[in-house]
Amino acid sequence: MCGIVGYVGAKPAEAVVIEGLRRLEYRGYDSAGIALVDGGAIVSDKRAGKLANLEKAIADSPLPQVTTGIGHTRWATHGPPTDRNAHPHLGRARRVALVHNGIIENFAELRGRLESEGVEMASDTDTEVAAHLLEEQLETGVDLTVAMQNVCRGLEGAFTLVAVDSQDPDRVVAARRNSPLVVGIGEGENFLGSDVAAFIEHTREAMELDQDQVVTITREGVSVSGFDGTPAEGRRYHVDWDLSAAEKDGHDWFMRKEIFEQPRALADSLLGRRGTDGLLQLDEMRLSDQDLRDIDKIIIIAAGTSFYAGMVAKYAIEHWCRIPVEVELASEFRYRDPILTASTLVVAISQSGETADTLQAIRHARVQRSKVLAICNTNGSTIPRESDGVIYTHAGPEIGVASTKGFLTQLVACYLLALYLAQVKGTRFGDEISQVMDQLEEMPGHVETVLAKAEEVYALARDHVDNRSVLFLGRHAGYPVALEGALKLKEIAYLHAEGFAAGELKHGPIALVEEGLPILCVVPPRGRDQLHDKMISGIQEVRARGARTLCLAEEGDTTITPYADVLITLPQVPVLLQPIVAVVPLQLFACELATQLGHDVDQPRNLAKSVTVE
Ligand code: AGP
């Protein structure tokens, strides 16, 4: 959840580290800190609150101009977000400074042992024990790399650790277990980061590491080893996006920029999927056609917005492929003893590729011999690395904590998977698959059409700044859209928002309806007569009880006009693909409402972009 940066090179480390933290602040933002190595001493500053607080403190009390440093933005797990709990943490002799992402599960036991030996703890964190243990190791005469290996062997839990030693100023050492860490490879300088955004303005050459590895960076190079000291190799790769993708580009929020990037992201995610023979090709699939033909059940696991993409996938896969699909919250999956066999395909959807719940769920599935396919936006992240196959979405970096283009591109990947399975299993004819692909390829244009009406949606959002509660209704593929619309509003506008399947209204939720309550209704296309008509009945029922109905319906659907207090039209698309266009106004609505309420849209309270702890 936290953001981590490490640097050694020729540039002023303070600037490199602070800039890196700025780009990682979306990962966690309740406190921030920096440590520099200055002529045999550690110089450190750390502050509760956003990075700006740390920057102000440094401006008031400047740090030395040195070239080795580490930094951290925190999302608190152990101890409240205060100055003393902010990272870096120092050993008692102030020889070591260390930052950490994750949870050290055996910290209480380690802390007890250290305290019994007279170490006084300066914080409430689990992290601080690692700083003391490292220092203990260094006092035995080993270097920081060996000290890190020795310490990590005794730690339990999930962690990325990055440390510096005041007596060894040209070396930064890091370790990872079940928590993200990438290396940036420069010329005469090297970097560490929770993700490549930390160093993208300096280098696009990166290296990913395996679990349980220690990496040492100096100006001259990078070396990798296991926790047992065995030399290892990281995998180098080129990052195919640049600094401009990590900037706001004139928008007030990353989220708004990312909403408007969706046509491009959709088009990129569809690129190169059709071969010259007209057949679908998913070249990162890595699962053979025979493996896929043997599949008799699919379980989709994911969290939050990715879970809602999975719900849409269920409708598409079951309809096009006739394979039963279960969709399960990753955090619940392992605890219900799911029935998994070698012919079960587990699909893990994760924008970040680092969500701890989803990662643990796929590990559980693989132990039961099921095949795992990841749908992921982050090259080199842990979930695709630990899966049997991967479909990468090509959304580019998503910085806003509230997922938008991540969701749309996940939908595309789900449709592609469904169509590919239909092709391999022969459950749809080639021309039917081709027709859906044509429709998918029209989606970027349709999303442009929806975005062109952003002002209309913004005006609607401004009309609702005084509402404390908003409901969302949908049916079929529109139901997950309703859930996603409600989640967006909860996350960034902090409003009570609930999504319901319209058919469930009468089973309870209709009791919530009172005079003036706004209800956003996702109306299915008319082609599905029953579905459409049932939705209209639901809308009539809530309107009769005083609700203000804000309806999203396809262009030309005049049947809805008498029942809509407000009508926002959507392009005409097939019912299964409608989530792609229907969710966009809901994203715009939440973004504008949160802006009007004066909230920090990109960094909403209590949340972090990538949830790397269970
Ligand atoms: C989306 O707006 C949320 N921030 C959150 O629900 C997110 O989708 C969830 O944590 C899963 O993340 P992942 O896709 O990176 O696994």
pLDDT higher than 80, residue 614: no
Residues in the chain: 614
pLDDT tens readout for residues 78-126: 888 899 999 999 999 999 999 999 889 899 999 999 999 999 999 999 9
Q: Count Cβ atoms within 10 A of the Cβ of residue 346 and give its class: 0-12 exposed, 13-18 middle, 19 or more buried.
A: buried
User: Does the beta carbon of 610 lie inside 6 Å of ligand 1?
Assistant: yes
* Catalytic positions, written as ranges: 2, 609
Q: How far is the CA of 538 from the centre of ligand 1 (A)?
A: 30
Pocket test for ligand 1, best of 305, 333, 391, 586 (most atoms within 8 A of CB): 305
User: Does the beta carbon of 491 lie inside 6 Å of ligand 1?
Assistant: yes
Q: What band does 138 get if pLDDT is binned at 50, 70 and 90? A: very high
pLDDT higher than 90, residue 1: no
pLDDT tens readout for residues 461-493: 999 999 999 999 999 999 999 999 999 999 999
Q: What band does 279 get if pLDDT is binned at 50, 70 and 90? A: very high
Q: If you ran DSSP here, which 8-state letter would residue 124 be given?
A: S
Apex 565 CA angle, 561 and 568, nearest 5: 70
Instruction: Write the DSSP assignment of 239-269 as a string of letters.
Output: ----GGGGS-TT-S-HHHHHHHTHHHHHHHH
**Strand 205-208's sheet: what is its strand order?**
41-48, 31-38, 68-74, 3-8, 190-193, 182-185, 205-208, 235-238
Q: How far is the CA of 305 from the centre of ligand 1 (A)?
A: 5
What distance lies between CA 324 and its chain's CA centroid?
A: 27
Q: What band does 276 get if pLDDT is binned at 50, 70 and 90? A: confident
**Which pLDDT belongs to residue 354?**
92
CA distance 562 to 383: 48
pLDDT tens readout for residues 508-536: 989 999 999 999 999 999 876 688 999 99
CA distance 328 to 331: 8
Atom of ligand 1 nearest to the CA of 609: 4
| pTM for the structure as a whole | 0.84
* Phi/psi of residue 484, nearest 5 degrees: -70, -40
CA distances from 231 to 216, 317, 488 (A): 11, 44, 45
Q: How far is the CA of 424 from the centre of ligand 1 (A)?
A: 30
**Which pLDDT belongs to residue 529?**
67
